[in-house]
């Protein structure tokens, strides 16, 4: 029984260590109208899980996701869920009427274009991609 408690304790420790490490590969970007310059990790999670739907000024949050490796990296570093868990979460929202599936894009170029043109939009890209006409939102 003691062993089980130790294993659980180590799991919790590692999960919390991970929660405080933000990805070095992925950055969050927002539309110029977004009224924040930085967000906490839990605020990012609440946005991408549809729990927070409005910015502080009352305007609507429009978030978008990518497909592929950058998406997986973003989920791991920011949302603390696997791709399967994130997909299952949004299917739950969809089939209980609580929300529609997130807008998603195949390429970072499409993502940057959507975020730059959509008021209240937030998304993410690889840090090597140019965040044209958007603003980088730091995540603590």
Partner 1 sequence: MRKYMLMILVGWMVCAGGAGAVDLGDVAIHGFISQGYLQSDKYNYLSVRTDEGSFETNEMGLNFTSQLTDDLRVGAQLFAMDIGEYGNDEITVDWAYGDYRLHNMLGFRAGKFKIAHGLYNETRDIDAVRTYVFLPRAIYDPSTRDTFAGMKGVNLYGELPLGFSYHASYGMVPPDKKGKISKDLAEYAEYEVRDSIGVAVRNVVIAQTTAAYIAAGFPPAQAAAMAETAASITAAEYVGNTSIVTGIEDMRSKNGKNFALRWSPPFLNGLRLSTTYFGSEVELDLNLNVDQPALPGRADPPAQTIPVKIKLDEVSSWVYSLEYTFSNLVLFGEYDRIKVDTRDAPTIDIEGWSAGASYRFSYWFELGGYYSDYCTDIDDRGGEKLKKRGEPAAVRWLRDACLSARFDVNDYWLFKLEGHVMRGLDEVDWKVSTPAGETPDEGWYLFAAKVTYNF
CA dihedral 77, 94, 30, 128 (to 10 degrees): 40
Residues in contact with partner 1, total (CB under 8 A)? 32
Under rule CB under 8 A, residue 5 binds partner 1: no
Under rule CB under 8 A, residue 133 binds partner 1: no
Give the per-residue contact string, 68-97, with partner 1 (x = CB under 8 A; - = no). Answer: ------------xxxxxx-xxx-xx-xxxx
Report the residue number, 91 or 133, with the smaller CB distance to partner 1.
91
Q: How far apart are CA 48 and CA 32, in angstroms?
A: 19
Give the torsion sign (CA, 93, 76, 20, 58): negative
Task: Identify any residues that bridge with 24 across adjacent strands, giving them in sequence order.
Answer: none
Q: Shortest Cβ distance from residue 40 to partner 1 (Å)? A: 8
Backbone angles phi, psi at 55, to 5 degrees: -75, 170
Q: Which two tokens stand for residue 24?
A: 């070095």
Report the residue number, 59 or 107, with the smaller CB distance to partner 1.
59
Q: Site residues (CB under 8 A) for partner 1?
A: 11-12, 14-16, 18-19, 42, 46, 51-54, 60, 80-85, 87-89, 91-92, 94-98, 100-101
């Amino acid at each position: 029984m003691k062993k089980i408690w130790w294993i659980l304790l180590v799991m919790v420790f590692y999960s919390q260590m991970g929660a405080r490490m933000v990805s070095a590969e992925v950055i969050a970007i927002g539309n110029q109208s977004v009224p924040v310059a930085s967000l906490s990790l839990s605020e990012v999670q609440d946005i991408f899980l549809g729990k927070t739907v409005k910015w502080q000024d009352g305007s609507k949050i429009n978030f978008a996701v990518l497909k592929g490796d950058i998406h997986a990296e973003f989920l791991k570093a920011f949302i603390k869920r696997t791709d399967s868990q994130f997909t299952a979460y949004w299917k739950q929202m969809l089939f209980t009427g609580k929300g529609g599936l997130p807008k998603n894009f195949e390429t970072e170029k499409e993502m940057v274009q959507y975020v730059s043109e959509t008021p209240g939009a937030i998304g993410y890209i690889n840090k090597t991609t140019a965040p044209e006409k958007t603003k980088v939102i730091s995540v603590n």
